[in-house]
Structure 1
Amino acid sequence: MSTETTEKEKAPARGPGPSGAPAGGPGRFMAGASTEKALDFTGSAKRLMRRLKPQRNLLIGAMVLGVGSVVCSVIGPKLLGDATDAIFDGVIDPAAGIDFGRVGNLVVQVLGVYLAAFVLALFQGRLVATLVQRAIFTLREETQAKLSRLPLSYFDQQPRGEVLSRVTNDIDNLQQSMQQTFSQLVTSLLTIVGVLAMMFWISPLLALIALVTVPVSIAVTGLIGKRAQPNFVKQWGSTGRLNGHIEEMYTGHSLVTVFGRQDEAQRTFDEHNDALFQATFRSQFISGLIQPSMMFISNINYVLVAVVGGVRVANGHLSIGEVTAFITYSRQFGQPLTQVASMANLLQSSIASAERIFALLDAREQAPDASPAEHPETVRGLVEFDDVSFRYVEDRPLIENLSLRVEPGQTVAVVGPTGAGKTTLVNLLMRFYELRGGQIRLDGVDTARMTRDDLREQFGMVLQDAWLFGGSIADNIAYGADEVTHDEIVAAAQATHVDTFVRTLPDGYDTVLDDEGSDVSAGERQLITIARAFLARPQILILDEATSSVDTRTEVLIQQAMGSLRQGRTSFVIAHRLSTIRDADVILVMESGSIVEQGDHETLLAAQGAYARLYAAQFAQPVDSVD
């Protein structure tokens, strides 16, 4: 049996990420805990570039257009220099005069090459936009697919806001940064090469003088960038923690208000917000020093070229036009250097976001489905636990050597104190977690040998936390079934007493609920989820405190509805209110991950054991019928 996903998840091996969950089972994490690691800038940048390989045709096209645009751009100053020489020669030699025909021809050529540079750059921008959007589109698809392959234990250990921040904020930041920098970066690098070639063609001496400032520029950029990068890592880590806190406080707003914790929530928000402010301020301020530093170095370079160029003209080694063209090139040479340096903050921010996305993509996945997969010839609902062992945390056993046999059509109630392992039992049955030992069999087939989709198709599940999505009530009821008619939806709603309150709503079954289901009460939300399970009519039912949010009268009505639904189906009922499971065929009493008692209601009461103590503590009184 695979134990790949039963081990405690660790923080991703690369990049910043939330810490692993502390001991104590699923659903527990330390909000705001940070385990940021040093960023592998070079490795992540290479990995990001490798993601562009599927778009290499677009990439090559953009590069070719970029080269053409740069070539046209760097030819322009040389042609203008020739025009300057033609005018200057005419001024020096009045007898010959200015050759306006040659000057006009050169001006037309300049306009032509600049127009060509514009058109080529325009098409290059279109290709780059297509390239980046396709790459990000693929990345979003992979991220969504990755989330579906991650084990439940991963989400137990991560704040939801942190996960959401990675798949929204970080991907958006990566998209915007790539869109802004990719085309400009390619053009700037090509411009540096082209301009440098022209500078050496005009005057190797002046070109060498211009190159003196390049090492200084690289050193300054590297020094500033090295100090800025850790702050970009902190910036996006703080963004994730702030989003996590906001998401928690928003979803739990009612409880925060009821318990008067608004001030505490505000203080925590202020702490995260201040950390984000400090990290963002430092990262932007430090990286913002690059551009003025580069401009200062470029101005020094300009002065050196102008002085030495003037001397060369006076000595007759260069013409006025050549020096004019060279000075233009020197400015063009400094401009892309400044642009590349100024893009450092965007590049660092995008790589920091890419690192966080890659950390999610690198997270350990659930064990793959068996191949070839097996399937019961006939699904009757026979469930067997054979020497099953499981633990959420390596050094804390929860379920050890548990064995159980549930016959087809039986209703099995699972009771016990909080933390006894009741919900864990059904989570293992659904393969939300993998076993550490033993087997669970469905009609004689090891569930680990079945595909997860095939296994879960046999189950219908109603949880105590009713989940609804943004959509109509009819859509929410039909969520668990394929190709159902409106009449079937209404029939399921009538059987589960949803129809009664739905008909009081102005839009009836077309009433649109938000994703929190705030349009209806907690009990009505739970009724809708029960109707959903009723409509799906699976072979095996799992009811985890399915009536915990309804009133006593409705609870009895639901019990009657579920009684008809359970006919001929195997059912697992997790309950704290023992009066709701009196008619169960078998009642399992769990403590500390073990079954300490099992039998029917009357037998367990007569045994005067753990079940009898639980029942007496609740003073439960059965309600046999309602008018």
Structure 2
Amino acid sequence: MNMTNSQLYLRLLGYVKPYWRAFAISIIGMVVAAATEPLLPALLKPMLDGTFVNKDDTVIRLAPYFIVGIFFVRGVATFVSTYAINWVGNKLVMDLRDEMFRKLLSLPTRYYDDHATGILISKLTFDVTQVTAAATTVVTITVRDSIIIAGLLGWLFYLNWKLTLLTLVMAPVIAYIIRTISKRMRNSSRDSQRAMGDITQVIEESVTAHKVVKLFGGQQYERGRFHDQANWVRRYTMKQAAAAAANVPIVQMVAAIALAVIVYLVTLQSKADETTVGGFLSFIAAMLMLTAPIKRLTGVSEFLQRGLAAAESVFELIDTESETDCGTVAIGRVRGELQFDNVQFFYAPEARPALQNISLHIRDGENIALVGASGSGKTTLANLVPRFYTPTGGRITLDGHDIHDLTLASLRANIALVSQEVVLFNDTVAANIAYGQMREVSEDEIVAAATAAHAMEFIREWPEGLDTLVGERGVKLSGGQRQRIAIARAILKDAPILILDEATSALDSESERHVQAALETLMQGRTTLVIAHRLSTIEKADRIVVMQKGEIAETGTHRELLARDGVYAQLHRIQFNNHGVD
């Protein structure tokens, strides 16, 4: 995505549009606050000339009221504008976060394969907050200080137009300085945000794998990784700081030279009685007051470049193409007949095929076991059914419909998954069992599903029962308990197609017995794809499909394949000989 600064900024302002009333109030507040600024030097001339020179009683009496009045109006206007612009900025961040999260939920599986979790988290937590500066601080400074500068210059022109023209000589010089430094800050901001994503990734991995880190003595290594990434963030931040720090003093130096020349010329004019005391002090005061808004305006590029670099990162995610759903047929409940016709699949164009020449007919209600060595294509084949990936060649049909023609929602509504890596959310047991149901699920239905999954026997033992919190990723439960809750979730979904991916491989014998019994309940009357390393768990399958290097090597029942003395028989001998040694 290559967008210009103006395109990025206009797109950002598009998110402000729904809140234009609050934005308009903030702008009005800024205008009123800014308008009071030139009134102070303008008030100096009549006040000084009227009190100290002409001894005017009216001016002496009214001057304090004017000063208090100006500061009161400025205070109210500043509060209103600051509150309103921050309200808009926080709404903007919330809307962007919502849109980014919606996009995350719709991204294809390939995107997650290619992008580290930590970097994605960093985009939502860190990058998006940097956008606020571009949307709020930049607008505030630009509007308010532009008006202040215009007002002060107007007053200066009124007092002495010749000298004021000299102040404008520094404008092109300042513009060149700002442009040069802004480019450097933008690049540093982009690098800094990328490095923050890497830091988040290191933290996420270290926290998730804390047991492995402790057991294998990886603390020193992880500390080194974190230190390196934190140091990169520091270096990029210092580059930003150096550019920002150089920006203001250089601009101020240019302004100071111009101011010194002007002050010298004003003093010459006062000697020649071409200006009054009030006029002289008013001019000097207005000149001095110009430096603060000029300083803020020159410093605004720091916020702008940081915000635009963040906006690039945010819009890069938002503009990523969502999972393709070109299906037009919203299928109801299917029978579960699957047909693979010469299916091929590549993870990358230059890689060797993960699957090739896959032709397989699965009858509805049939229990099919997929076996083979690691990397033989078992999981890849199963992942094509719910369209986590799209076949590179050939086609897959469900009840005669090409699954490419089915809407993703209706296709996936017919599929349940139980895998070795059980995904549980940091919520109650009941919420995890009923997860994703589009209807109101009664407690009786949850209990029935948990009972069928052999889960109620341990859920009843907990003081809070179904309301027990499972912890992050179900950390408070044993492996067998997590599996049975996942099975209960699949039972409650009641989908006609079931994918079991190594569902019992990580369990002890006692847990496996319970889980196997629960799985047999779940598999009844469903088309089931069972991926298994442990061949003892799939001997009762209707058919066993043996995968080898992405192709189907042989198919048949357990007895048929043993009698054939091929790949399956060899795998069987290896496993059971090893088991005998154990």
**Do the two structures share a fold, i.e. TM-score over 0.5?**
yes
Which residue is 2:330 aligned to?
Answer: 375
Alpha-carbon distance in structure 1 between the residues aligned to 2:515 and 2:34:
74
Corresponding residue for residue 309 of structure 2: 352
Deviation at 1:43?
4.5
What is the distance in 1 between the residues matched to 2:303 and 2:35? 27
* 2:407 aligned with 1:434: no
Matched residue type, 1:505: W
1:461 Cα shift? 0.5
Q: Distance in 2 between matches of 1:227 and 1:475?
A: 50
Going from structure 1 to structure 2, the CA distance change for 1:144 and 1:402 (only over 3 Å counts) comes to: same
8 A Cα contact 2:339 2:362, kept in partner: yes
- Residues 484-535 of structure 1: per-residue CA shift (max 9 Å, x gap): 2223222222222222322333333222122232212223222221121122
Residue of structure 2 aligned with 1:452, choices 368, 387, 408:
408
Q: State how far apart, in whole Å, the 2-side matches of 1:391 and 1:193 are.
A: 63
Which residue does the alignment assign to 1:220? 177
Counterpart-to-counterpart distance in 2, 1:501 and 1:583: 28
Q: Which amino acid aligns with 1:446?
A: D
Match of 1:524 in 2: 481
Could you say what secondary structure the match of 1:400 adopts?
strand
Are 1:573 and 2:530 counterparts?
yes
How big is each residue's C-alpha offset from its partner over 1:184-212, in whole Å with a ceiling of 9 and x where there is no partner? 33211222222222221221112112222
Match of 1:385 in 2: 340
**Partner-residue secondary structure (3-state), 1:512:** coil
Return the offset for 1:177. Answer: 5.8
| SS of residue paired to 2:500 | strand
Alignment of 1:38-117 (within 5 A): 41-90=5-54, 98-117=55-74
Gaps of 5+ in 1: 1-12, 15-38, 91-97, 623-627
Residue range with higher mean Cα deviation, 151-160 or 328-337:
328-337
Contact 2:48 2:278 in 1 (8 A): yes
Alignment partner of 1:478 is 2:442: no
1:625 corresponds to:
none
Which digits, 9 at most, give the CA deviation of each residue in 1:53-91, with x for residues without a partner?
A: 44444434433332232223222321222111112432x
The CA distance in 2 between the partners of 1:104 and 1:437, in whole Å, is 91
Question: Letter of the aligned partner of 2:251 in structure 1?
Answer: M
Q: 1:143 to 1:595 in 2, by over 3 A?
A: same
- Alignment map for 1:96-495 (pairs within 5 Å): 98-175=55-132, 178-370=135-327, 373-376=328-331, 379-396=334-351, 397-481=353-437, 482-495=439-452
Deviation at 1:176, TM superposition (A): 5.2
Aligned residues: 577
**1:379–1:539 Cα contact (<8 Å) kept:** yes
Question: Which has the higher mean CA deviation after the structures are superposed, 358-367 or 531-540?
Answer: 358-367
Shift of residue 287, structure 1, vs aligned partner: 1.4
Deviation at 1:152, TM superposition (A): 0.7
Q: Are the aligned partners of 2:435 and 2:489 in contact in 1 as well (CA < 8 Å)? A: yes
Alpha-carbon separation, structure 2, partners of 1:280 and 1:578: 56
* Secondary structure of the structure 1 residue equivalent to 2:324: coil
Question: Which amino acid in 2 is paired with 1:417?
Answer: A
8 A contact 1:80–1:107 mirrored in 2: no
Partner of 1:541: 498
The answer to whether the 8 Å contact 1:492/1:535 transfers is: yes
Please state how far the C-alpha of 1:240 moved relative to its aligned partner: 0.8
Q: Is the Cα contact below 8 Å between 2:118 and 2:201 reproduced in 1?
A: yes
Q: What SS does the aligned partner of 2:472 have? A: coil
Cα distance in 2 for partners of 1:410, 1:106 equals: 95
Shift of 1:423: 1.0
Alignment partners' CA distance in 2, 1:586 and 1:539:
18
- Structure 2: runs of 5 or more not aligned: none
Structure 1, 346-355 or 418-427: larger mean CA deviation = 346-355
CA distance in 2 between counterparts of 1:414 and 1:484 reads 33
Q: Distance in 2 between matches of 1:265 and 1:89?
A: 75
Partners of 1:384 and 1:139 lie apart in 2 by 42
- Supply the distance in 2 between the matched residues of 1:292 and 1:85 (Cα, whole angstroms): 35
CA–CA distance in 1 between the matches of 2:362 and 2:116? 37
* Alpha-carbon separation, structure 1, partners of 2:133 and 2:422: 37
Q: Judging changes above 3 Å, is the alpha-carbon distance between structure 1 residues 513 and 377 closer, same or farther for their aligned structure 2 residues?
A: closer
Letter in 2 for 1:381: G
* Residue number in structure 2 paired with 1:23: none
Is contact 1:414-1:574 (8 Å) kept?
Answer: yes
1:343 match: secondary structure: helix
Q: Of 443, 450, 464, which aligns to 1:507?
A: 464
**Counterparts of 2:235 and 2:377 in 1: how far apart (Å)?**
44
Q: Distance in 1 between matches of 2:112 and 2:359?
A: 28
TM-score by length of 1: 0.87
Structure-2 separation of matches of 1:181 and 1:515:
40
Residues 31 and 143 in structure 2, CA contact (< 8 A), matched pair in contact too: no
What RMSD in Å do the two structures reach over aligned CA positions? 2.3
Query: How far apart, in 2, do the equivalents of 1:173 and 1:473 lie?
Result: 38
Q: Percent identity?
A: 32
Q: Is the 8 A contact 1:385 1:439 kept in 2?
A: yes
1:567 deviates by: 1.6
Instruction: Tell me the amino acid that sits aligned with residue 127 of structure 2.
Output: D
Q: Which moved more, 1:202-211 or 1:599-608?
A: 202-211
Counterpart-to-counterpart distance in 1, 2:132 and 2:235: 24
Which residue identity lines up with residue 108 of structure 1 in the other structure? Y
Contact 1:76 1:114 in 2 (8 A): no
Report what 2:507 is aligned to: 550
Report SS of the residue matched to 2:435.
helix
Task: Tell me which amino acid in the other structure corresponds to 2:313.
Answer: R
Contact persistence 2:500–2:530 (CA under 8 A): yes
Tell me the equivalent position of 1:25.
Answer: none
Cα displacement (A) at 1:428? 0.9
User: 1:520 and 1:331 mapped to 2: Cα distance?
Assistant: 69
Report matched runs for 1:592-611 at 5 Å. Answer: 592-611=549-568
- Give the letter for the 1:562 counterpart: L
1:577–1:620 CA contact under 8 A, matched in 2: no
Partner Cα separation in structure 1 for residue 355 and residue 147 of structure 2: 64
Matched letter for residue 295 of structure 2: T
> Partner of 2:58: helix, strand, or coil?
helix
C-alpha separation in 1, matches of 2:171 and 2:338: 73
The one-letter amino acid of 2:344's match is: S
8 Å contact kept, 1:74–1:191: yes
> Within 2, Cα distance between the matches of 1:263 and 1:40?
43
Which residue is 1:28 aligned to? none
Contact in 2 for aligned 1:80/1:106 (Cα 8 Å) = no
SS in 2 for 1:389: strand
Q: Distance in 2 between matches of 1:121 and 1:203?
A: 30
